[in-house]
């Protein structure tokens, strides 16, 4: 338990256990839209004439013969985002994909928690084993729909929160989200990701618009799901509690959006180390401090230099006007900005 008495911690190991399923959703899956209409139709690549469709050789390894080797089709968000660049994944693309995977993992972890607390997990087990009582079928259906709604909202809420520092001044109108499916949580996420993939294909022409599209989609999804949840039964286990994701400082409290500060444009004039001359000892200490700062683990909120000793929390420049204090700060800020770009983290200077 952390914070208030009714606030529970969504443990990091529970979230990380969902990284593989989350990555699988981003890598590719098939989805036939049921409520929305596809606006983007991918062109199928035709085979060259004369090339057969059957494999020339047949594997003799047991199990391989019946295993499908078809490439996941339909929705491939990972490829969609990467296709907006020049062949290499940029920091902005990496930030978007990291936020999507993290948001999906948090949503799946919350779905698992909801199922355990609401009794849905036991009903799923009984249904799988063919022993679900007839009188429980209505409750089972309601809880599946409730799980789908809270999973969708948590995904959109967490993703929007994680992307907030990367949001700029670009705005995009995505319209209402239509493909909201409530059969179960996995299908609900597939429907939402299918529609997000459509929006990215239609509206994202560059990296700033990519972040804007994902952010606008998450806001629209939260709004639509919250309206659906007003009349949906079985959500007490979600609306009656609160959870904290310590690594992201994210609070989950029912259908209430979490808000994070948006990043602003950096206007500071940086200095390169080669431009700084004079006191070489102060320059060396500043270079060393910049590297030590970037050793910070953003997920674990941990800096090994602080634990091992020798790390200073306050860097104070003392000297008369014109002795280079501001120049050293500009050099350190420039180094940190470059390090953050390479690591895929936004850098904000205040």
What is the rounded CA–CA span in Å between residue 322 and residue 326? Answer: 9
What is the rounded CA–CA span in Å between residue 89 and residue 238? Answer: 37
Q: Which residue has the higher pLDDT, 61 or 31?
A: 31
What is the rounded CA–CA span in Å between residue 342 and residue 336? Answer: 10
Give 290-329 pLDDT, tens digit per residue.
888 887 777 777 777 777 766 666 667 777 777 788 888 8
**242 band by pLDDT with thresholds 50, 70 and 90:** very high
What is the rounded CA–CA span in Å between residue 70 and residue 64? Answer: 13
Please determine, for residue 157, whether its predicted confidence score (pLDDT) is greater than 60: yes
**129 band by pLDDT with thresholds 50, 70 and 90:** very high
> What pLDDT is attached to residue 303?
78
Give 166-176 pLDDT, tens digit per residue.
887 888 889 89
Across the range 82-109, mean pLDDT stands at 91
> What pLDDT is attached to residue 134?
93
Please determine, for residue 40, whether its predicted confidence score (pLDDT) is greater than 70: no
> What pLDDT is attached to residue 190?
96
Across the range 219-237, mean pLDDT stands at 95
Please determine, for residue 44, whether its predicted confidence score (pLDDT) is greater than 60: no
> What pLDDT is attached to residue 61?
40
Q: Are 212 and 259 in contact (CB under 8 A)?
A: no
> What pLDDT is attached to residue 311?
62
CA angle 161, 170, 85 (to 5 degrees): 85
> What pLDDT is attached to residue 5?
42
> What pLDDT is attached to residue 224?
95
Phi, psi (degrees; rounded to nearest 5) at 118:
-90, -10
Give 1-36 pLDDT, tens digit per residue.
444 447 899 999 999 999 999 999 999 999 999 988
Those residues with Cβ within 8 angstroms of residue 22's Cβ, 6 or more apart along the chain or in another chain: 100, 101, 102, 104, 105, 108
**Average pLDDT of the chain, as a whole number:** 83
> What pLDDT is attached to residue 72?
40
């Amino acid at each position: 338990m952390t914070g208030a008495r009714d606030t529970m911690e969504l443990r990091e190991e529970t979230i990380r256990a969902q990284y593989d399923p989350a990555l699988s959703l981003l890598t590719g899956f098939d989805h036939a839209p049921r409520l929305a209409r596809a606006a983007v139709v991918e062109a199928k690549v035709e085979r060259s004439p004369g090339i057969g469709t059957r494999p020339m050789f047949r594997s003799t390894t047991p199990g391989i013969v019946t295993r499908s080797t078809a490439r996941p089709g339909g929705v491939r968000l990972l490829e969609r985002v990467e296709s907006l660049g020049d062949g290499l994944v940029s920091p902005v693309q990496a930030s978007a994909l990291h936020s999507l995977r993290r948001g999906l993992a948090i949503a799946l972890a919350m779905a698992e928690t909801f199922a355990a607390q609401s009794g849905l997990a036991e009903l799923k087990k009984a249904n799988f084993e063919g022993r679900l009582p007839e009188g429980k079928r209505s409750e089972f259906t309601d809880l599946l729909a409730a799980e789908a709604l809270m999973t969708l909202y948590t995904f959109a809420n967490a993703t929007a929160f994680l992307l907030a520092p990367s949001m700029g001044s670009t705005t995009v109108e995505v319209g209402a989200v239509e493909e909201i499916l409530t059969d179960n949580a996995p299908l609900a996420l597939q429907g939402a990701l299918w529609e997000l993939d459509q929006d990215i294909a239609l509206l994202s022409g560059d990296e700033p618009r990519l972040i804007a599209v994902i952010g606008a989609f998450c806001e629209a999804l939260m709004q639509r799901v919250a309206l659906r949840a007003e009349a949906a039964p079985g959500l007490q286990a979600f609306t009656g509690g609160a959870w904290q994701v310590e690594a992201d400082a994210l609070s989950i409290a029912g259908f209430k959006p979490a808000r994070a500060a948006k990043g602003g444009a950096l206007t500071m004039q940086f200095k390169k180390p080669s431009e700084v001359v004079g006191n070489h000892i102060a320059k060396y200490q500043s270079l060393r401090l910049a590297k030590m700062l970037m050793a910070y683990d953003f997920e674990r909120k941990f800096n090994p230099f602080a634990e091992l000793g020798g790390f200073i929390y306050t860097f104070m420049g003392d000297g008369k006007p014109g002795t280079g204090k501001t120049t050293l700060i500009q050099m350190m800020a420039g180094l940190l900005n470059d390090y953050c770009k390479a690591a895929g983290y936004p850098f904000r200077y205040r």
